[in-house]
Amino acid sequence: MDGYPRSQPHQPLSLRQALRSATKADGALLGTILGLRSLDVAKIIARTNCDWVAIDAEHDPCSAKLLSEMIQTMRTHSQGRIIPVVRIPSHSSEWISWAMDAGAGGIILPHAESVEQVQSVVNASKLPLSARRLSRPFFGHSVDSDQEDGRIQDNVHVGIIPQIESIQGAESAEGMMQIPEVDAIMVDQLELLKDADGSVEKTFEIIRRIEELAAKYNKPLLAVLTDKNDMPAKLRAGYRMVLVSADGYALASATNITIAEFRKMSSVQEEEHQEVPADAIVPVKEEEVQVVERALGPTIEERKVASQILFSRLTLGMLLMVALSFIRAHIISWVY
């Protein structure tokens, strides 16, 4: 993600330009969800190979101060390589300002159901001032650059992403896509399924319609994927931002996989040391034992017999040598 620089140190990498590059290359920006309210977790996620991270401030209580610190921690410990994107808890301009002032590279607008809602978020996030958002008080622009340049760069870099998770939102999708400042559309498949009363066919038709509109207006799509085998189809359908994991789920999943592997090895060890039942022992005939023993080598009895034979032979040899010496001595005495 180093190819999308910002003109000011406080600014994140350009999500908008990264999306354009991904679209041109038929690729996708891969990311994870940061849902645990912890700066330590943010530091760990920042050291991964994610292109972007969705900091979820919607589902669990999160103060503006903690959100700001998580964004800055993510940017610092990734050395500016990962783009932090915040899913804000409400549509109020305060959360948008807090997130962007801390250095967020994008805003995900949950429960987007109308064009007016999305346009309101755009107005609250873009600079120059559109009646809601003010310039950043201390780090909105550097001291040696023009203030107007900093404001313009904010508009270039920050991405706006409405999240469609209801039938009403899907009906407004075409209007949302016609807003120039909207950079992508998040398709929440699970929430759409719930809103469609669990009808898979209806949900599939809604998503297919959104995908057709995205192709028509050249708008990238965002989705959560749990199966890597779905990736090729999603790329063909125009998904350029993909969430492939979440911090809590990844932690639990990795732990469970490790525990399962060690338990498997433990069970193998137990099976190796398990006593064999008495009824499982097959009796062996004496003849078979003798055949095996001969194949393996001499038995103890055979070794004893062999030792006795060797001792007898040595004794007989010594007696013969003594007798021969005695006879030789007598023959010599007779001759001389």
Tens digit of each residue's pLDDT (9 = 90 or more) over 68-104: 999 999 999 998 899 999 999 988 889 998 998 898 9
Q: Provide the residue range defining the domain that includes 326.
A: 286-335
Q: Is residue 160 part of a domain?
A: yes
Q: Is residue 74 part of a domain?
A: yes
Where is the domain boundary, 222, 248, 274?
248
Q: Is residue 42 part of a domain?
A: yes
Residue 187's pLDDT is 97
Residues 75 and 163 in one domain: yes
Residue 287's pLDDT is 65
**Stretches in the chain below the pLDDT threshold 70:** 1-12, 127-156, 269-307, 310-311, 314, 322-336
In angstroms, the CA 164 to CA 171 distance is: 10
Token output for 145: 């650059």
Minimal CA–CA distance to 74: which of 84, 65, 60, 64?
Answer: 84
Residues 290 and 156 in one domain: no
Contact call for residues 92 and 57 (beta carbons, < 8 A): no
Residue 270's pLDDT is 63
Q: Is residue 293 part of a domain?
A: yes
Q: Is residue 255 part of a domain?
A: no
Instruction: Output DSSP code: residue 182.
Output: B
Residue 208's pLDDT is 97
Domains in the chain, number = 2
Count CB-CB contacts under 10 A for residue 209.
14
Residues 174 and 240 in one domain: yes
